[in-house]
Amino acid sequence: MVRYVFFICMLLALPPIAAAAGTGRIFVTNEGSNTVSVIDGKTLEVVETLAVGTRPRGIGLSPGGRELYVAASEDNAIVVVDPGSLKVLRAFQAGSDPETFAVHPNGHIYISNEDDARATVFDPASGGRIAEIPVGLEPEGVAISPDGSRVIVTSESTNMLHVIRVPEHDIVANILVGARPRAAVFTRDGSLAYATSEISGEVKKVDMRQNRVVAVEKIADEKAKPKDVLLSVDEQTLYVAGGRSDSVVVLDAATLKIRATIPVGKRVWGLARSRDGSRVFSTNGASNSVSAIDTDTNKVIKTITVGDLPWGIVIDD
């Protein structure tokens, strides 16, 4: 009986999540033109361009996909957009210079405040600040473990991964890494994380149970200044935005060796993966474009012109 009731509850809980199958749209922040480009996920054409505040950078979706969040860095705000109607729903103040953020499974937003050497936690429903955590200088990347128990904030000018415990919101470890750590991603079970360092050109694998780096690999492409990082669905493959190398670098997640280098546009900053894993998209900051990559062939299937200095990207699928 208990199991039956539980099952019913599960079913009742399902519709909103199922509805979150999403609009199929791809959203891209254009730091230079103060807009968000809306791309149709099927036709890969820009269907709309939204004005969303000044210097938009970080972008993300609520766990159910009903709300799109955009960090308007120079307005010190998070702008909330309806991904369906594309209407701006509201905005709230999010500390000084919000840059990147990640959305927790509980719906809260964890933001790196680049100017302020802080990470802040907001409830986007109320706009209320839940916590403020002092971290290193120029905090940048934010990654949240799938179970929500750990948050990594990278501080670019202090060269650390700060590991924050949730819900306590205290720092449990500071892991020194190569110069200018940019981004991190957790495996599904939360046991490992991968992080990039831009200036040292490295990718590292971190044991998140022991909070220590277990493998470091300098990306063999000398010009690579690695930025965003993401994992394939099967977690066997790592995709790294190569920055100045004008490519997306495909690595074996176990050995960190390069499997492929995919030329895209100039200054590759952001990455996003379709839910089914068939596509990876890159934002090419200095080419004002987004590249759509077929992950079976590791080839670009389309280059989409967007606004100036495209930065963040998220897929509502």
Partner 1 sequence: MRKWSITTLTVLLFCAGTIEPCFGAMDVKLVYIGSEGDAALLGARQGLDEANLQGQFLGQKYILEARTAAAPVAELHGATAVLASLDAGAFQALAAALPGVPLFNLRATDDALRAACIANALHVIPGDAMARDAVAQWRKVHPGAKVTAGAWHGEFIKFAGRDLNKRYRAATGKGMDDHAWAGWAAVKMTSDSVARLNSADPGTLLAFLRDDLRFDGQKGAEMSFRASGQLRQPMLLVEDGRLVGEAPVRGVAGPDDLDTLGNTACR
Residue count (the chain): 317
State the minimum distance, in angstroms, from the CB of residue 30 to partner 1: 17
Q: In terms of CB distance, is 179 or 254 closer to partner 1?
A: 179
Q: In terms of CB distance, is 65 or 285 closer to partner 1?
A: 285
State the minimum distance, in angstroms, from the CB of residue 101 to partner 1: 18
Q: In terms of CB distance, is 125 or 179 closer to partner 1?
A: 179
- Report helix, strand or coil for 42: coil
Q: In terms of CB distance, is 104 or 244 closer to partner 1?
A: 244
State the minimum distance, in angstroms, from the CB of residue 65 to partner 1: 33
Per CB under 8 A, residues contacting partner 1 are: 114-115, 117, 136-138, 156-160, 162, 171, 174, 176, 178-180, 199-201, 222-223, 225, 244
State the minimum distance, in angstroms, from the CB of residue 132 to partner 1: 16
Tokens representing 105? 């499974």
- Burial class of 315 by CB neighbour count within 10 A (0 to 12, 13 to 18, 19+): buried
Q: In terms of CB distance, is 201 or 312 closer to partner 1?
A: 201
The rounded distance, in Å, linking the Cα atoms of 75 and 34 is 11
* Residue of 224, 269, 218, 229 lying closest to 244 (CA atoms): 224
Tokens representing 259? 């499997």
The rounded distance, in Å, linking the Cα atoms of 264 and 201 is 18
State the minimum distance, in angstroms, from the CB of residue 211 to partner 1: 13
**Contact (CB, 8 A) for 303 and 253:** no
